[in-house]
Amino acid sequence: MKRETAFSMEHSSIKYGPGVTREVGWDMEEQGAHRVMVVTDPHLRDKEPISVTLEALRKHGIDAVLYDQVSVEPTDISFKEAIKFAVGGKFDGFVAVGGGSSIDTAKAANLYSTYPADFMTYVSPSIGEGKPVPGPLKPLVAVPTTAGTGSETTGVAIFDYLEMKVKTGIAHRSLRPTKGIIDPNHTRSLPKMVAACTGLDQLTHALESMTALPYHQRTAPEHPKLRTAYQGANPISHIWTSRATEMISKNLVRVIENPSDDEARGEVLLAATYAGIGFGNSGVHLAHAMSYPVAGMVRDYVPEGYPSGHPLIPHGMAVVLNAPAVFRFTAPANPEIHLYAAKLMGKDISGASPEEAGEVLSSAILALMRKVGMPNGLSAVGYGPEDVDKLVAGTLPQSRITNLSPRPASLEDLKQLFLNSLKLW
């Protein structure tokens, strides 16, 4: 078995600054777009980020058509509806305005309207066929209005596959937006729980990326075109994820306690982009894999600050509820990197032994979770010991990311990780 010897660094072009959304018309004109699908959700339809985007596009003579039916935590059905709209609209460009749900939906609409195929064709293996994207896509500019997913920089589109009650995704470097517009003006009105969930999502992105199986321990692809976007931890991704961990740890509580703290909001938004660049080139592992059935099997939990129309466990919440148990489990594979991550989060590691690495990092995560008001484990969002077997069954198909765990997790290991995540303090 030949080991990997190479890694690559790819990400979207990034533009940052308060009010920079006003330049999106020029950004699309520069890329040759004339008719653009603007993708957002119903809650943003009448808000400033959309009005500014539409005005900027039309100012440059671009025919901007609004699609405002994105589902928060998209499903295969909501993806298909957006794809149908994109196919019928004959667009030559896309602008996504919103959180990861809107950006991921735009990625799917761009992909399937450019290279029509049965829906499962490009969906990740174990659930879908996992075929590579045939070629380049149309220009896509992403304007995030939450600070967490990093989707403006990544080649991943995540959705709930309703038939299996599990999250999965489409992953290919060609899905990356051509540009991310990082405008701090758009995050002032985020409800506290939304800010907390998206902030902890980016934290776990960074921590999982940093602690993932190193790229040189992975099997080499048979052809360079088969090298996945999630390549394993590498020296370049390490730089981005390290800085993201530090920034989010220092600023998330400030943002939640005082949304008008523009400096902290800007730092949190930039941290999301940094984490996105990092994990978009290295990958995530067990906490994310376990989160997909947690979100997909939700019964009746509705978090504060989110739409009340249907049960929902936000992605960032589903991820971080598993994170303390996961990092206790993975720490023996590389205690030094786990201690380093804890230090970035503000922990004093001077007297910590390698055997304590997992507990030290987990305690840092738990402290931040409690400060921002996360529920106390999976039991607080509706799960019990009787659900563990189904949660494990929903995790096993996520081999695209479970294979990136620095410590292989057996079925019994996963069961224990879920049991350890039922109550956190």
Q: Which residues of the chain have pLDDT under 70?
A: none
Report the relative pairing of strands 156-161 and 166-171 from DSSP bridges.
antiparallel
Cα gap 176→104, rounded to integer Å = 10
Question: What tens digit of pLDDT does each residue of 364-394 get?
Answer: 999 999 999 999 999 999 999 999 999 999 9
Question: What tens digit of pLDDT does each residue of 3-56 get?
Answer: 999 998 888 899 999 999 999 999 999 999 999 999 999 989 999 999 999 999
Q: Is 90 left (phi over 0), alpha (psi -120 to 50) or beta?
A: left
Cα gap 181→148, rounded to integer Å = 14
Nearest CA to 361 out of 210, 231, 243 is that of 210
Please spell the DSSP secondary structure of 173-238, one letter per residue.
GGGS-SEEEE-GGGGTT--HHHHHHHHHHHHHHHHHHHHSPBGGGSBPPSSGGG--S---B-HHHH
Q: What is the pLDDT of residue 215?
A: 95
Q: What is the pLDDT of residue 379?
A: 98
pTM equals: 0.88
Nearest CA to 147 out of 372, 422, 400 is that of 372
Cα gap 406→101, rounded to integer Å = 29
Task: Check if the beta carbon of residue 306 is closer than 8 Å to that of residue 193.
Answer: yes
Residues 6 or more apart whose Cβ sits within 8 Å of residue 411: 392, 396
Mean pLDDT of the chain: 94
Cα gap 299→390, rounded to integer Å = 13
Tokens 């060609």 locate to 174
